[in-house]
Amino acid sequence: MSEKAVSTAGMITVRPIQFGSDEHALEVELRTKVLRTPLGLTFSEEELARESSDFHFGAFCPELIGCLILTPKTRSILKMRQVAVDFASQGLGAGKLLVAFSEVFARGEGFTEMELSARMNAVPFYLGLGYVASGEDFMEVGIPHRKLTKRI
């Protein structure tokens, strides 16, 4: 697969982020700002250390504006986590590009299914990208979530 993906407008680029790099520090900062601070939460060192063998991706324009993480659950299933686009850059296509890039990457690595726990506000975003909701709502980080999956 290509090492990166570029939006149709050519302004947003998606590429891997190396764990422990300066860009990774910016990724954690962005995730904290978009996903944790609004809930009054932070990340612990232990939580972040557990992500060392996950796949991290960033959307750049040209600075980091979005990110997500892929965690292998089995040899065929990847869990998409920590999808976050900076508040000022939402609605520009970065989230869609990150998800599309992840699916191409996952297929290339031999995975056949993507799954995720979506916050309720983001469920329509994933439904629009072909994800299917299943099961009852459940609580994570103190707010309701819904399980979504997609054959890739």
Ligand X SMILES: CC(C)(COP(=O)(O)OP(=O)(O)OC[C@H]1O[C@@H](n2cnc3c(N)ncnc32)[C@H](O)[C@@H]1OP(=O)(O)O)[C@@H](O)C(=O)NCCC(=O)NCCS
CA 68 to CA 126: how far, in whole Å?
14
Measured distance CA(134)–CA(149) in Å, rounded: 8
| Residue 38 engages ligand X in binding (rule: CB under 6 A) | no
Could you give the residue ranges of the DSSP H alpha helices within 1-152?
A: 22-31, 45-49, 94-108, 123-127
Q: How far is the CB of 92 from ligand X (least distance, A)?
A: 5
Instruction: Supply 94's token pair.
Output: 């970065």
Nearer to ligand X, 117 or 152 (CB): 117
Stretch that binds ligand X, among 21-29, 87-95, 100-108, 136-144 (CB under 6 A): 87-95
- H helix or E strand, kind and range, residue 144: strand 143-151
Taking the complex as a whole, how short is the minimal distance between the CB of residue 20 and ligand X, in angstroms?
Answer: 23
Residues 54-83 that bind ligand X (CB under 6 A): 83
> What minimum distance in Å lies between the beta carbon of 75 and ligand X?
24
From CA 106, how far away is CA 109, in angstroms rounded? Answer: 5
- Residue 108: alpha-carbon gap to chain centroid: 17
Binding residues for ligand X, total number by CB under 6 A: 19
Closest CB to ligand X among residues 20, 87: 87
Of residues 112 through 141, those in contact with ligand X by CB under 6 A are 118-119, 121-122, 124-125, 128
107, 143 in Cβ contact below 8 A?
no
- Chain residues binding ligand X by CB under 6 A are 34-35, 83-85, 90-96, 118-119, 121-122, 124-125, 128
